[in-house]
Amino acid sequence: MSDDAVIEMSGVAVANPHGSGIPLVSSVDWRVARGECWVVAGQQGSGKTTVIETAAGLRPASRGEVRLFGEPLPSPAGEAMARLRQRVGFVFEGAGRLFPDLGVAENIALPLRYHRHLTVAESAAELRPLMEAFQLERFANLAPGRIGRAWARRAGLARAMASRPELVLLDNPLEGLDPVHLRWWRGFLAELVHGHPWLGGKPATVVIATDELRPLLGIGTRFATVDGGRWKVLGDRGAVSASDDPAVRELMDERN
Amino acid sequence: MDTVHIQSRSVSVVSFAAIRARAAGATLRRLVAFTLISIGTLATKAGKSPQVMRPLMIEQVFRVGVKLLPIVCFLGITLGIVIVGQTVTVLQTVGAVKFTGMLLVTVVIRELAPLVAGLVVLARVGTASVIELATARALGEVEALEALGIDPIHYLVVPRVIGFTVAVATLTAHFVLLALVSGYAFAFARGLPLTLTGYFGDIATALSWADFPLLALKTSLFGAVTGLVICYQGLSQALRLEEVGAATTRTVAQCVVGCLCIDALFVPVYLLL
């Protein structure tokens, strides 16, 4: 267990959160070092989301040990876990799971207002650069249901970034995006890996779950797959390109 | 053959009752655990994040209390005429007017008002809240809160329980006042020889000082139990769309049973007054 490890999972099994408790993915041995960008690929329903949710401490592991920032995960409802979660940004699949009773700006400001006791005006001033960088100013006062899915996902990303996390986990961020949004997201992810201005130019540790490897091949530095309940670390880009594993080739969209 | 049939039938009735009793026991255990967790959260995070939590609580008090004020006032006036007005008239007729205060304190203030306020809150806001929370759970909003380091019990449950508690207590007070006033107005309109000071004097004499804290406690417990059951049923499991109706029905049944049990616990206390 070295000091620069951000996520460490050893012998971890994860179960379907809506199922019978039968392991969905077994024996996950994974170490994410500071500054790495991991791409976890797998078909829909393979369990990649559950693996990254478990790594973020959002779901308990059925077996094995999970450590975040070198420490075992504390009790889910305690203050220690709340503090730990402020160091982690999690971007959910789809429309970002924004809270429908809050406006877009209120959604993004919520973690700052809750943890740092800021007023609406203070949080708005602090988040202005983020809203501008994410081109969300014109949606600030709208309800999440009144903006497009791609914009809602971007707002979900902004909410996860609001507390300037050290570790960012994204669940299928490029799914179903039009070319303009896709270009923006790829640019953002590349910037996040190399150092985003919002994070003071410091490279973040990033984990991206995806069902398509190709768009993320130029962004990720380390790759793993979840296939048939098995966790497999592939290695770097070269290892992915050279892999003759049919599952990897399928995820690279090279079936035809 | 008939004896065997009746015996097997009675066995199946007994086993059915045993299964239901076990299920009720399990639900009660989970509800108690949920209540203890909620109380723990309330105690440990009482002053946390006032910028976020205070508006949430005010919104719940407004939604459950202020918005229901017109219907509770209407019920207070109509039930005041129906029950208080008729009671006073009957007592006058049979010459038992000296029992007016005692009867109204026992029936209206101690029993009817808290139950009516609790049931109105349950029917008008409680069922909608279950659906709202169950939808939030199904859409993953609870996980989204956890991901932001926000305790879902603190953010979703505490404001609702406080809102329901404050609302039932204040709505009860409004109901009592309007029922007593409209009851007197009805009796006065019918030309009964009852003075305003005499009427309210009788009620004040029948009231004990302990009635005030006891009424506040009872109505607060009604509100708290209603709020807790609603939050438990809405958040305890991710519901599918077809399960929401059943969860709502369970909520109503459990809230009514809970409030009546609390009501029963107060009876010996009132008998001592």
User: B189 is in which domain, residue-wise?
Assistant: 50-272
Alpha helices in chain B (DSSP H): 2-44, 50-64, 69-79, 86-93, 100-104, 113-121, 127-138, 141-147, 152, 158-189, 196-206, 211-235, 244-272
Establish if B227 belongs to a structural domain: yes
Instruction: Give residue B20's pLDDT band: very low, low, confident or very high (50, 70, 90).
Output: confident
Q: Under an 8 A CB cutoff, do A115 and B149 touch?
A: yes
- The pLDDT tens digits for A60-107 are 898 999 999 999 988 877 888 888 999 999 999 988 899 999 999 999
* Cβ contacts of B144 on chain A, cutoff 8 Å: 92, 97-99
Three-class SS state of B194: coil
Residue A256 has pLDDT above 60, yes or no: no
Q: What is the ipTM of this complex?
A: 0.90
Measured from the Cβ of residue A96, the count of other Cβ atoms closer than 10 Å reads 24
Å between B175 CA and nearest CA of chain A: 31
Burial of A187 (0-12, 13-18, 19+ CB in 10 A): exposed
In-domain check, residue B143: yes
Please judge whether B146 and A99 are an interchain contact, meaning their C-beta atoms are less than 8 angstroms apart: no
| pLDDT tier at A159, thresholds 50, 70, 90 | very high
Asked whether residue B8 is assigned to any structural domain, the reply reads: no
Q: Is B238 inside any structural domain? A: yes
Structure tokens at A114: 């809750």
Total tally of structural domains belonging to chain B: 1
Mean pLDDT of A200-218: 92
Per the listing, tokens 């109380």 go with B39
Could A159 and B148 be called an inter-chain contact, meaning their C-beta atoms sit closer than 8 Å?
yes
Report if residue B28 sits inside a domain.
Answer: no
Chain A CB contacts of B150 below 8 Å: 82, 110-111, 114
pLDDT at B96: 85
User: How many other CB atoms are there within 10 angstroms of residue B208's CB atom?
Assistant: 12
Interface of A with B (CB under 8 A): 18, 53, 56, 58, 76-77, 81-86, 88, 90, 92, 97-99, 110-111, 113-115, 117-120, 159-160, 163
Residue A26: partners with Cβ closer than 8 Å, 6 or more residues away: A13, A63, A229, A230, A231
pLDDT tens digit string along B258-271? Answer: 999 999 999 999 98
Is A82 within 8 Å of B149 when comparing Cβ atoms? yes
In a domain, B255, yes or no: yes
Maximum Cα interatomic distance, chain A, rounded to a whole number of Å: 55
| Mean pLDDT in residue range A29-47 | 92
Q: Quick check: is B137 in a domain?
A: yes
Within a domain: B222: yes
B149 to chain A: closest CA residue: A82
CB-CB: which of B51, B139, B148 is closest to A117?
B51
